[in-house]
Structure 1
């Protein structure tokens, strides 16, 4: 399987890419604005690259409920950040946004991935990405970003997520985005209870068989806390275990706060999967 991110082309048959998370928000659930100042943001980016990040993902609005962030505010947060990262580091940059306008300006600044947790709700999103030659992440969400959904109901959780993501992936291809530039994200904790997110992780292989690279975004999320009883700052081991399980089931991009640990997990799993191929 091949993943393309801008000019970079990766064979992920037995390899998982590590995407380092960079929040340009004062209220993110994990770092709570720890890297809000631009100098701290850039220092964090340098750390993630040194630790082995294959990709950097910049977000200007947190996924959960919170104060409104206008389009202009989001652009002011992420576009200069993208520009600064592209000047400093030779790694692909992703923009975590559901607004086509923000994605367009970010692509012009050098981003090559649009990570959209809305499932392409903005009708211009895919056309903007196709025009820029960007890759996209199709994410399942039941309602919409920033909308609380505490009691979601599904008749067939995995089946419904599969159908949604298959549809969105084919929308992307129809818009002119090659399959190698379309990634699928189950959207853990987005309109899912902790048991639902756990089930989607356990059955990740059923998304992988859709034929597109699968993107795993579970780092330090709430369902891991429910499983382990760990508070948000103490979920490192659970996250790394989830990453190993995900790679074993076929996930090939790991979005992570702890890049150093995730890099080691990804490399170990790559060695295991490569040896399995050679043994056969």
Structure 2
């Protein structure tokens, strides 16, 4: 009974952590079926995303540090979108004032919403990481994963090598999370896969509502290829690495400041 109660509590905390992604999905659905005059759909989505982000800050739903992380993800995601659209990986077919080189600016918020979820879940369920690898290893591996999204168009795609390295680097790393005063443990690599899988589901919903379209979806919607889980898995890992590394650095800084103040 206790664990069943904790399951519902876990679901509630997950739902609260997903507020920003949920708003984006609702916006995509709303704007697909209801046309607003005098404003392009992509422009309207951008305005709604901006408004929600501002409200989340004003109502302190997100902390100042979380906003900084989310902004970094927005820039990283937007850069990847600009490149991938130019390479023909996917497209945004609708017209809008806020499109830059074929990419609507709202697209960066979709990546930012992933960061928002991670930050919210981390705080709400008191995530703790044990046996976190050396910072230099995390930075190099994260950079290699991210830049492989760019380089695989020209040279060999090393994603499977990177996945093997991830298993080796994070073999002893576990994440703990607290639900209703009960602490649970999970291998970090398993959490990577689970988040990547659910983002793939979210991607199917997003493409169905016309957030973007892959080449095979130009004429009519089709389910996103299962292989895309692999891409999202790697992107989730990069996202988690950035959030975890920033929190790790902050903890070290806070510890140093505490020790200095006590002396």
TM-score where L is the length of structure 2: 0.30
Higher strand share: 1
Identify the structure with bigger relative contact order (alpha carbons < 8 Å, sequence gap 6+).
Answer: 2
Higher helix share: 2
TM-score where L is the length of structure 1: 0.28
